[in-house]
């Protein structure tokens, strides 16, 4: 049963006025400005594809506003058809943005401007009137790292400096899309306008895109997404790799009050496919808080044990820390089966029985290419061999793909062209063939182990939630939280080595609470309160929470745990805990597997240092507790819920006694 009258339920923002759409306002101002010019001509809507009359009035208004602001040469209303895809590919081929990969069916390669290869966290903002609604209190004088705030005034200024006329000479595509299966009560609709055909082709894979979405919109509101690569024609500077972008002026902004997303200057992944991080996570988390559910950076997988019992697990690991790989794992233990529901984002809500259920709001995978191979992830390899857009990978002379990790699977007699265009690339040059954040964008329906319920409109019931990251030292392979509150601390205290998924340089251990640090749409202290409130919203039992670490290293810097398909051994232990088996023992940090309870059959235990895998060095954990306390103190301050402070105090006490 769902409990509705909880005290600390989502603090609904009471809107006493009708908030003004930022895009509408910007377009009005831009039109007024334009009228002052001597050469003023009323901007006409020239439609080159599709029909404006097919759009609902609200959508039509949004399209009008965007066109008045950006002044494209024409408008293309996307229907999601094959014919349209052919057209987009043609346009991109003519512009030199994309090339075929004839070794596979309908696969394409794009190489971006090397200045536009990853999310840019420093230029990603949440716009609220009160800074405190976005960024926790923190400590005076310390730079906040939990969400960047921008004031509505600064946003207005930023938009007026970038958007008027920004699509000049280009086509503005109108992309209606659903996050989640079309028509599901858990799904939400967005409309993105963009001047990038690459974005359209990618949104067509990553979301349910096209005409079928609009009838389900009804009179509901949709998320307005405005995107431009910021290169009006004629160009002011030459393009690099024919990839339009404006890295020095890139901004990615979100306005929770009006459900708007405004992104400029980047064509890359999380900056430009606005359904993904911007909608499903940043705005999604603010909507989820209001409506009493969770929008998380999590994979969802189904796992069936040899006895035929099936459970679903959700797991939050930071970017490039193993979600896609776990979600598509080929288990090494006999009799186990893994099925994939999603690899990056989970929307989780209680059903009428109070069971927490998850949907994957996406329709495709935008996965990290390097490291993916028939050895590590055959399921992903078999998914990407048709209808896939690759970005910033290397190309073989026989028309195939190459990246770090495919050395043994690439014929010897082919030459390799690197992502930067070096022909005859070889490993000796010391530079990687593919960019470390190069990606494949591929339809989820092609995944050979896609779960039969992956599009279920009810979602799948979640039995366990995993947190994890890249922890070379001190953090055991797996431990279980004592209870929900402790589990929320485990999520809040997550740290991980930085990766190439964002602009951070070098390898530092960074705090990344809930793997959401780059994706919070509101104050992290309030996010913690929201998570804590979840167990009070149901009379059913909550999923158990675990922490995993595949990335512990030995003193020579090698991973101790073989990872990938062998991770099923950890899932096996987790499932036994979910069933209530007595296979755990208490430690200072949480419940560890009883000696002998982790199934290691078939692994070469002569080389596997199981002792080191689970060792808890006291000095390390003392430091860890101090680092977490400092982080909470500096970054969250008085917005930290008392329960979390209390949980940390208890951890500190247990570590003291180690
Ligand atoms: N050593 C080791 N490496 C792994 C394991 N799982 C994944 N990796 C590597 O980690 C990198 C990123 O993995 P992904 O599964 O794509 O990461 P993700 O969490 O889905 O990343 P985002 O799409 O950025 O959110 C790849 O190079 C993988 O090969 C593992 O169990 N052990
Ligand atoms: O958003 C992106 O570009 C890719 C992604 O999944 C992440 O960084 O977590
Ligand atoms: Mn991700």
What is residue 505's predicted lDDT score, i.e. its pLDDT? Answer: 79
**Cα distances (Å, whole numbers) of residue 590 to 33, 351, 408:** 62, 29, 40
Q: Which helix (H) or strand (E) holds 289?
A: helix 284-291
Share of the chain above pLDDT 70, in %: 97
CB 439, CB 268: distance < 8 Å: no
Say if ligand 1 is within 6 A of residue 559 CB.
yes
Would you say residue 17 has pLDDT above 90?
Answer: no
Tokens representing residue 586 in the block: 């208490």
CB 343, CB 298: distance < 8 Å: no
Question: Model confidence over 280-294: pLDDT tens digits?
Answer: 999 999 999 999 999
- Which of 71, 76, 111, 119 is catalytic? The answer is 119
Would you say residue 543 has pLDDT above 90?
Answer: yes
CA 333 – ligand 1 centroid, Å: 20
DSSP tag of 404:
T
With cut-offs at 50, 70 and 90, classify the pLDDT of residue 317.
very high
- Which of 344, 512, 572, 639 is catalytic? The answer is 344
Say if ligand 2 is within 6 A of residue 501 CB.
yes
> Mean pLDDT for the chain?
95
CA dihedral 151, 156, 158, 163 (to 10 degrees): 150
What is residue 16's predicted lDDT score, i.e. its pLDDT? Answer: 52
Helix/strand/coil (H, E, C) string of 211-268? HHHHHHHCCCCCEEEEEECCCCCCCCCCCECCECCCHHHCEEEEEHHHCEEEEECCCC
Q: At what angle do helices 82-94 and 197-206 cross, to 10 degrees?
A: 140
Say whether the ipTM exceeds 0.90: yes
Question: Model confidence over 146-188: pLDDT tens digits?
Answer: 989 999 999 999 999 999 999 999 999 999 999 999 989 899 9
What average pLDDT score do residues 423-438 get?
Answer: 97
Q: Which of 460, 437, 303 is nearest to 366 (CA)?
A: 437
DSSP tag of 333:
S
Higher pLDDT: 15 or 355? It is 355
What is residue 215's predicted lDDT score, i.e. its pLDDT? Answer: 87
What average pLDDT score do residues 69-77 get?
Answer: 97
What is residue 13's predicted lDDT score, i.e. its pLDDT? Answer: 44
Pairing of strands 299-304, 310-316: antiparallel
CA 469 – ligand 1 centroid, Å: 10
Q: Which ligand is nearest to the CA of 434?
A: 1
Would you say residue 5 has pLDDT above 60?
Answer: no
Active-site residue, 297 included? yes
The number of angstroms, rounded, from the C-alpha of 339 to the middle of its chain's C-alpha atoms is 20
Q: At what angle do helices 642-656 and 484-492 cross, to 10 degrees?
A: 90
CA 440 – ligand 2 centroid, Å: 11
* ω into 234 cis (within 30 of 0): yes
C-alpha to C-alpha distance for 427 and 438, rounded to whole angstroms: 17
The number of residues in the chain equals 658
Burial label, 87 (beta-carbon count in 10 A; 0-12, 13-18, 19+): middle
- Which residues are registered as beta bridge partners of 349? 357
C-alpha to C-alpha distance for 576 and 568, rounded to whole angstroms: 12
Share of the chain above pLDDT 90, in %: 90
Would you say residue 458 has pLDDT above 80?
Answer: yes
- Give the other-Cβ count within 10 Å of 155's Cβ: 20
- Which of 439, 471, 530, 569 is catalytic? The answer is 439
Question: Model confidence over 576-609: pLDDT tens digits?
Answer: 999 999 999 999 999 999 999 999 999 988 889 9
CA 277 – ligand 2 centroid, Å: 7
Would you say residue 253 has pLDDT above 70?
Answer: yes
Say if ligand 2 is within 6 A of residue 368 CB.
no
What is residue 211's predicted lDDT score, i.e. its pLDDT? Answer: 83
C-alpha to C-alpha distance for 325 and 337, rounded to whole angstroms: 14
Would you say residue 339 has pLDDT above 60?
Answer: yes
Cα–Cα–Cα angle for 142, 144, 146, rounded to 5 degrees: 150
pTM score, whole prediction: 0.96
What is residue 589's predicted lDDT score, i.e. its pLDDT? Answer: 98
Say if ligand 1 is within 6 A of residue 549 CB.
no
What is residue 3's predicted lDDT score, i.e. its pLDDT? Answer: 63
Question: Model confidence over 434-451: pLDDT tens digits?
Answer: 999 999 999 999 999 999
Say if ligand 2 is within 6 A of residue 322 CB.
no
What is residue 64's predicted lDDT score, i.e. its pLDDT? Answer: 95
Q: From its phi and psi, is residue 562 left (phi > 0), alpha (psi between -120 and 50) or beta?
A: alpha
C-alpha to C-alpha distance for 230 and 168, rounded to whole angstroms: 10
Question: Model confidence over 482-536: pLDDT tens digits?
Answer: 999 999 999 999 999 988 888 887 789 999 999 999 999 999 999 999 999 999 9
Say if ligand 1 is within 6 A of residue 531 CB.
no
């Amino acid at each position: 049963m769902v409990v509705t009258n909880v005290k600390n339920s989502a603090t609904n923002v009471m809107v006493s006025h009708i908030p003004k759409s930022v895009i509408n306002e910007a377009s009005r101002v831009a039109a007024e400005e334009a009228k002052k010019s001597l050469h003023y001509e009323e901007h006409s809507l020239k439609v080159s594809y599709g029909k404006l009359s097919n759009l609902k009035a609200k959508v039509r208004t949004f399209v009008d506003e965007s066109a008045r602001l950006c002044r494209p040469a024409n408008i293309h209303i996307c229907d999601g058809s094959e014919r349209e895809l052919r057209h987009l590919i043609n346009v991109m081929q003519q512009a030199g943005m994309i090339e075929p990969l004839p070794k596979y069916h309908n696969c394409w390669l794009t190489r971006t401007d090397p200045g536009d290869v990853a999310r840019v966290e420093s230029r990603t903002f949440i716009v609220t009137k009160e800074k405190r609604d976005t960024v926790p209190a923190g400590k005076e004088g310390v730079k906040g790292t939990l969400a960047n705030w921008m004031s509505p005034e600064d946003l207005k200024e930023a938009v007026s400096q970038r958007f008027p006329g920004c699509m000049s000479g280009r086509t503005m595509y109108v992309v209606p899309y659903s996050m989640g299966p079309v028509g599901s009560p858990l799904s939400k609709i967005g409309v993105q306008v963009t001047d990038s055909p690459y974005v359209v082709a990618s949104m067509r894979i990553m979301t349910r895109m096209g005409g079928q979405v609009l009838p389900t919109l009804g009179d509901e509101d949709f998320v307005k997404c405005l995107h431009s690569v910021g290169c009006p024609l004629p160009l002011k500077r030459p393009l690099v790799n024919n990839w339009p972008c404006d890295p020095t002026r890139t901004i990615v902004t979100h306005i929770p009050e009006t459900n708007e997303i405004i992104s400029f200057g980047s064509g890359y992944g999380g900056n430009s496919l606005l359904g993904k991080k911007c909608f499903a996570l940043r705005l999604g988390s603010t909507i989820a808080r209001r409506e009493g559910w969770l929008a998380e950076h999590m994979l969802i997988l189904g796992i069936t044990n040899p006895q035929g019992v099936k459970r679903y697990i959700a797991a939050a690991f930071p970017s490039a820390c193993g979600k896609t790989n776990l979600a598509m794992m080929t288990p090494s233990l006999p009799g186990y089966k893994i099925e994939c529901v999603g690899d990056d984002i989970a929307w989780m809500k209680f059903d009428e029985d109070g069971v927490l259920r998850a949907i994957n709001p996406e329709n495709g995978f935008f996965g990290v290419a390097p490291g993916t191979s028939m050895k590590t992830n055959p399921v992903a390899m078999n998914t990407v061999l048709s209808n896939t857009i690759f970005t910033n990978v290397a190309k073989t002379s026989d028309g195939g793909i190459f990246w770090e990790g495919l050395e043994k699977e690439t014929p010897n007699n082919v030459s390799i062209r690197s992502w930067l265009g070096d022909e005859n690339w070889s490993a000796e040059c010391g530079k990687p063939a593919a960019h470390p954040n190069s990606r494949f964008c591929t339809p989820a329906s092609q995944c050979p182990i896609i779960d039969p319920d992956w599009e279920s409109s009810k979602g799948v019931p979640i039995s366990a939630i995993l947190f994890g990251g890249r922890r070379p030292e001190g953090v055991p392979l797996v431990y279980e939280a004592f209870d929900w509150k402790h589990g929320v601390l485990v999520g809040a205290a997550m740290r991980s080595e930085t990766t190439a998924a964002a602009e951070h340089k070098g390898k530092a251990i960074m705090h990344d609470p809930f793997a959401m640090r780059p994706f919070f749409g509101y104050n992290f202290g309030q996010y913690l309160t929201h998570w804590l409130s979840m167990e009070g919203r149901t009379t059913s039992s909550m999923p158990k929470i675990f922490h995993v670490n595949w990335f512990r290293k030995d003193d020579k810097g090698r991973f101790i745990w073989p990872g990938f398909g062998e991770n099923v051994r950890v899932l096996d232990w987790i499932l036994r805990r979910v069933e209530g088996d007595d296979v755990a023992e208490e430690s200072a940090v949480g419940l560890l597997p009883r000696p002998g309870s982790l199934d290691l059959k078939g692994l070469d235990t002569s080389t596997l240092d199981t002792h080191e895998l689970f060792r808890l060095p006291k000095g390390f954990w003392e430091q860890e507790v101090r680092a977490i306390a400092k982080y909470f103190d500096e970054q969250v301050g008085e917005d930290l819920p008392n329960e979390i402070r209390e949980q940390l105090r208890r951890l500190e006490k247990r570590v003291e006694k180690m």
